[in-house]
Amino acid sequence: MSHEFVNLPEMRKEIISAVKALSDTDYQQRVWIDQIYPNADFFDDFTLNVNVLYDDTTVLDDPAAALGQTLANDAEVAAMQRLAGRLGDILDSVGRDADDLTFLQSPLWSGVVTAAQEALRVLT
């Protein structure tokens, strides 16, 4: 199934931004770990992006339910399902309250990054 448009394009932009952050290891080191922000009013970390994807947009709770809302087609749904699986695995393994460095040092992190890179490719 495919939708030429989504009902919530601004929410989709938030999803893409969060997926992009999860896909970029250089960004993660610079911003999440070293806390080098582009301006004084900026903040970002792993938890913020997870909250966007699970709590704010609920896209990772049920990617299929997001079809037509924030996801445009079945390929996007499948990519987000893979990302949800990888994130779920690392959250269960490391613990939801771990700091960003602990997540990035987990042997499961590369799977999250790869799934995010694939999702970003499909979303954009």
CB atoms within 10 A of CB 68: 15
Farthest CA pair distance, the chain: 43
What length is written for the chain? 124
Distance between CA atoms of residues 104 and 8, nearest Å: 31
108: helix, strand or coil: coil
Residue 1 has pLDDT above 80, yes or no: no
Q: What is the pLDDT of residues 60-114, one digit of tens each?
A: 999 999 999 999 999 999 999 999 999 999 999 999 899 999 999 999 999 999 9
Q: What is the pLDDT of residue 73?
A: 96
Angle subtended by helix axes 9-23 and 74-94, to nearest 10: 50
Least confident of 4-13, 45-54, 110-119: 4-13
Q: What is the pLDDT of residues 9-32, one digit of tens each?
A: 999 999 999 999 999 999 999 999
Q: Which tokens in the block code for residue 11?
A: 């929410």
Model confidence band, residue 4 (pLDDT cutoffs 50, 70, 90)? low
Instruction: Give the rounded distance of the alpha carbon of 123 from its chain centre.
Output: 11
